[in-house]
Amino acid sequence: MDPFHWITLWFRPAIVGVICCTVSACASSTAAVSDLRSQAQLELNQSAYTEHRDGAFLVSAVRASYLGADKFRTVVPYNGTYVAGTVIVDTDARYLYLVNANSTAVRYAIGVGREGFQWSGEATIGRKQAWPIWIPPAEMIARQPDLIPYRDGMPGGPGNPLGARALYLYQDGRDTLFRLHGTREPWSIGKQVSSGCIRLFNQDIIDLYDRVSIGGRVIVLGLQPS
């Protein structure tokens, strides 16, 4: 018998035990680091949706219950054919993407039009406005007579349905009456509830507003039949 065989047999359980403990410690350490990174990322994400002053108005914080990993503004890979600066609205997925120049896109969670009020097609950003005035369309006033006091416009502010910013979509130089805008109803992001316009958290529409230019291309993809 190999004179070292008994030593090998005696040490094997100890070595295995040490290896197992080491691997276990590494796994625990890796998990702890991962948890810390996840927590740090969560706090970083949430910090983008805190209360802050914007000009004459206060942008309210978005409640944690309205947020989540699927609703935080984030940068994602993009390998499509649209050029940088293009806005792509995926109404099915409830996301809006702004294409970057480095094979990425900024992704924003959105609320979309309810059944019978959707719009799809291609447009350009014809106008941008901070804390915009809201003028309800005549058709909306006919459906909701309580809006008659605002037929000449509701001043901009936290109670305005367009929220902190609005991007006005034009086709062939004419206003389509559809908007990309903020909202006073953050709970509605991710849902199909609007009268056709695309709404974002106020913090997100401010971010998008600062990144896009008048004349920018907007592609709105329609809802796919279920």
Q: Which residues are catalytic?
A: 181, 197
Q: Is 89 helix (H, G, I), strand (E, B) or coil?
A: strand
Task: Give me the helices (H) in 151-217, please.
Answer: 202-211
Residue 115 and residue 143 in contact, taking contact as beta carbons nearer than 8 Å: no
Q: Provide the total of helices (H) and of strands (E) in the chain, helices listed first.
A: 3, 13
| Burial letters 52-87, b for 16+ CB under 10 A, else e | eeeeebebbebeeebbeeebbbbeeebeeeeeebbb
Angle at 55 between CA 52 and CA 59, to 5 degrees: 30
Helix (H) or strand (E) holding 55: none
In sequence order, the 6+-apart residues with CB closer than 8 A to the CB of 96 are: 87, 88, 89, 90, 107, 108, 109, 110, 180, 198, 200, 208
